Structures are given as C-alpha cells and as structure tokens.
Amino acid sequence: MKKGQTELIGIVIIVVLLIFGALFFMKLPSKVETGEFETVYAGNTLSVILNYVPLYGCRDKNIGDLLRDCKFKCGYLGDACKCPCEFAEAEIRNVLDLLLEEEGSFGDYYFNAVKYGNEFIKIDKNCENNVGIYAPRYFVSGYEFKLKLCK
Amino acid sequence: MHTKGQMEMMETVVVLIVFLVLIVIGLIGYGYYMKSSIKQMEENEKVERSLLLMNYILNSAEFQCSRNNVVKVNCIDFGKVKAFEGVGNENYREIFGFSKIGVKKIYPDKEDVVYFYEEGRGENKIVRSVPVLIYDGSYKIGMLVLEIYE
C-alpha cells in the first residue's frame, strides 16, 4: 500500500468518526416538549375563568354563562344580571392580572369571545400581536373563547 | 542532520498528537454536552412528574368538586383538602413521591398556601403552579402548587 493511500484511509476514518459523533449529539431528544407545561397552564387558566362563579354575580351563573348572556354593552359597570358584558370583562381582567402576577412567567394576555364568527368581547393587554402561548380552543354551543398569554 | 526514517517517524508522531488532541477536544465537548443534556432531562422528568401529579389531583375523587354526582372540571374541594391533611403522608408516598403539594386562594381574596402533602427532600426542586377553582362554600380562584424534588 502506498503512503498516499494510507493517509486517505486515515482521513476517511476521521470523517466517519466525526459523522458518528454528530449523530450521537443529535440522538438525545428531550422527552417533554418545550412549552408543554405553559400550554397546560394557559388551558387551565381559560377553563378556570369560564367556570368561575362570582360571589356577587348574577345568581349561580359562571363567567362563561355571563359571556353567553352578553348581548349589548351597557357602557357602565352596573348590576351583573343587567350588564353581563361589563361585569364579565371586569372579572376576567382582575383574575388574569392576579393569576399572571402570581405565576410570574407571563405578564400580558389576550382574551376574546366569538359567537358564530363575530367577536363580541376582546381584552388585549399588549399580547394580540406578540409571540405567546395559546390555550387549547374552547367551544361551547356556538361560542368560541380564546386566551393567549405573552411573556 | 535527520535521516529520512527519522523525518517519517516525526511526521507519524505529529499526526498522532494532532489526532489525540482532536479526540480530547471532542470528548471534552461531548462531556459538556452530556452534562447539560442530563440536567435538562432531569428538569424535563420533574416537569413531567408535575403534570402527572396535577392530572392525578384534579381527577381524583379525593380532591375534586362534585355536586349531585356532577364533577366540576379543574376544581378542588377545600373541605377535602383539609380532611386529607389528617390522612398521613406515608399512605400517598407511592403516588406523590418526594414533593410538596398545596393550594393557594388568590381571587377574590389572597391567602397563604395550604400544603396538604409535605414530603420535600433536599434543595434540588422545581416549583410549578396551575390555576384551579377552589370550592369552600363558594367558588374561589386559586393555584395548585407543586414542588417536585429529586
């Protein structure tokens, strides 16, 4: 075997070793996908808000029921049964501000409620057009509720 | 004055040294990568455990709210939590492992966290909390707090 051939074999061995090394680096995927907990967090937040029954609300209606009662806005924060839009909106803001302050990793949020394609409630705290985590979509009899949390 | 044989020997030695240096650099890099990768896997394992625990707690009859056999989702009955405090941690060690689990009311009134399972061990832990409804006569919004230890 000539010297040139031996050196070539050496180079081939080094290249093969490097390829195996690179493959090994790529072969350690993480089991939990990044953002999985955040998605669960956002989903729980939306579910908890919609199922929350305010103490001084309208009978035993939860926020989801109040949003479904929301036909037109009164323009002021009055009685929860007469002005369900304003009451629900104020409660959602209060709850989200407190929950996100407590959790710490999210600061801003975007919530909207849509009935048959028409948005009738939109609460945006610097999040609608920013990068964030969406809660899984929440549908109740023709209504769709969305929540997005931003860092 | 070097002979041709000595020159070739020197060349082989230099090639070997370069090769060894490359291997050592590769091993060091791989070591660092493995270290951070193992740390990441440990963190992921804890996050996964916290998700499993959260799922268990929110779906077990020991904690969830129900009225007339209708279960409310993502809701913890505070009365059941208080009753659980007396059950003893050793009965649930197999399920909850080394962790501290509690609930904290946030809205409308903020209160301190109430731990109902406390088997923390060591310093290395992750803390995760998820929003839940808490029922204690009326509905409150709070957090299920999970501290997962190694």
Residue whose entry in the numeric block shows the structure tokens 């996908």:
A33
pLDDT for position B88? 67
Q: Which of A3, A13, A20, A44 to mutate to test the interface with B (most CBs of B within 10 A)?
A: A44
State the pLDDT confidence band at A29, using cuts at 50, 70 and 90: low
- A14 or B102, higher pLDDT: B102
Residues contacting B140, CB < 8 A, separation 6+: B105, B106, B107, B108, B109, B133, B134
Residue of A nearest to B138 (CA): A55
User: Could B130 and A32 be called an inter-chain contact, meaning their C-beta atoms sit closer than 8 Å?
Assistant: no
d(CA A41, CA B136): 23
**Looking at residue B143, what is its pLDDT?**
92
Distance to chain B for A126, nearest Cα, Å? 22
B48 near A CB under 8 A: yes
Give φ, ψ of A14 to 5 degrees.
-60, -45
Residue B17 in this model has a pLDDT that exceeds 70: yes
Q: What pLDDT score does A33 carry?
A: 53
- The contact set of A with B (CB < 8 A) is 10, 14, 21, 24-25, 28, 30-32, 36-37, 40-41, 44-45, 47-49, 51-53, 55, 94-95, 98-99, 102-103
Separation between Cα atoms, residue B72 and residue B66, nearest integer Å? 6
B103-139 pLDDT, tens digit each = 999 988 889 999 888 887 777 888 888 999 999 988 9
Report yes or no for ipTM above 0.85.
Answer: no
Residue B81 CB contacts under 8 Å (≥ 6 apart), including other chains: B63, B103, B114, B116
Residue A107: per-residue pLDDT: 87
**Which of B148, B103, A136 lies closest to A145 in space, CA to CA?**
A136
Lowest-confidence pick of A32-36, A139-143, B73-77, B135-139 = A32-36
- Give chain B's mean pLDDT: 87
Three-class SS of A34-72: CCHHHHHHHHHHHHHHHHCCCCCCCCCCCHHHHHHCCCC
Q: Provide the whole-model pTM.
A: 0.76
pLDDT at A49: 92
Q: What is the mean pLDDT of residues A67-84?
A: 80
Kindly list the distances between the CA atom of residue A9 and the CA atoms of A13, B20, B24, B39, in Å, as whole numbers in the listed order. Answer: 6, 17, 21, 38
Contact B141 A48 (CB under 8 A): yes
Interface test with B, best of A99, A100, A147 (most B CBs within 10 A): A99
Each residue's pLDDT tens digit, B20-49: 998 888 888 888 888 888 888 888 888 888
